Amino acid sequence: MQRRPLIAGNWKMHTTLTEARALAEAVARSAADVEGRDVMIAPPFTALAEVSLALRGSTVQLAAQNVCWVEQGAFTGEISPVMLSSLGCGAAIVGHSERRHIFGESDALINKRIKGAMALGVMPLFCVGETLEERDGGNTFLVLESQLRLGLADIVCNDPARLIVAYEPVWAIGTGKTATTGQAQEAHAFIRDILASLFEKSVAGQIRILYGGSVNSDNVDILMAEPDVDGALVGGASLKPESFHRIIHFQGKTA
């Protein structure tokens, strides 16, 4: 089954309004001549409105870095799916390792975020991944299965376009270390098998699974060559127009 590749840039806590607009405009120019793949960027909440204007008329999709599970209410510091949609923001990263390990977000909370986003029309980009200690202990697959089953508990997904999963080994995020192509493919294939046990097999076969963890212009081609790697969730390299341009223009599969 052929899945349309997706390159997503997670800007994390970077960029002022001026910097965000300039970077978004550069990404829009870079994406203007690519075909057979999607491009997405996730600026900080403060820059979403400005970036939405900068992307107007382009093919680049807009995502948030997190999302609440309700439409409105007394949730200080949270942003609802309806608020995101009003900015032209159709997706949101959920369960990123930094949210899990720095801010203590649990699988149960992540599940609430995914359910709320899907119910209110925002596509979750759901992140899973193991720490170095968990990998060295031989528990990678146990961790991935637990995160997937708990994060997607009681969720019905009949449309593969409503969900994206990202495999991001924690030990490879911001460290300069990248999973080998074999490690990435093995994890992605395992994730797809778990998805097939949660949803219809035909749906699981079409859900895109991205790799995240020190993706850069030097390794993107070999990662994208793996059959179950459907794209990349890019951190630091997405803040540099030249490197993100090269990543968007990776050599290999298209749809």
188 is catalytic: no
- Confidence category of residue 154, pLDDT binned at 50, 70, 90: very high
**Residue 52 placed within a domain:** yes
Any domain includes 123: yes
Instruction: Supply the pLDDT for residue 252.
Output: 79
DSSP β-bridge partners for residue 128: 167
Catalytic-labelled residue, pool 96, 130, 134, 226? 96
What pLDDT, on the 0 to 100 scale, is given for residue 191? 98
Tell me what the mean pLDDT of segment 221-235 comes to. Answer: 97
Cα end-to-end span (Å), the chain: 10
Q: Is the pLDDT of residue 249 over 90?
A: yes
Q: Among residues 105, 94, 87, 90, which one has the least CA distance to residue 65?
A: 94
In a domain, 218, yes or no: yes
Q: Is 226 a catalytic residue?
A: no
Choose the catalytic residue: 98, 130, 134, 168: 168
Q: Supply the pLDDT for residue 1.
A: 59
| β strands within the chain, DSSP E | 6-10, 38-42, 61-64, 91-94, 123-128, 164-167, 208-212, 231-234
For residue 253, being part of any structural domain is answered with no
Is 94 a member of any domain? yes
pLDDT digits (tens, 9 = 90+) for 57-84: 999 999 999 999 999 999 999 999 999 9
Q: Is residue 27 part of a domain?
A: yes
What is the span of the domain harbouring residue 182? 6-248
At 5, is the pLDDT very low, low, confident or very high (cuts 50, 70, 90)? very high
**Cβ distance 86 to 54 under 8 Å?**
no
CATH number at residue 233: 3.20.20.70
Averaged pLDDT for residues 79-106: 97
Residue-wise pLDDT for 47-59, tens only, equals: 999 999 999 999 9
Which residues neighbour 25 within 8 Å (Cβ) at sequence distance 6 or greater? Answer: 54
Share of the chain above pLDDT 70, in %: 99
Mean pLDDT of the chain, nearest integer? 96
Give the per-residue pLDDT at 73: 97
pTM across the whole model: 0.96
Number of domains observed in the structure of the chain: 1
Residue 199 domain-assigned (yes or no): yes
Alpha-carbon gap, residue 219 to 202, rounded angstroms: 30
Within a domain: 238: yes
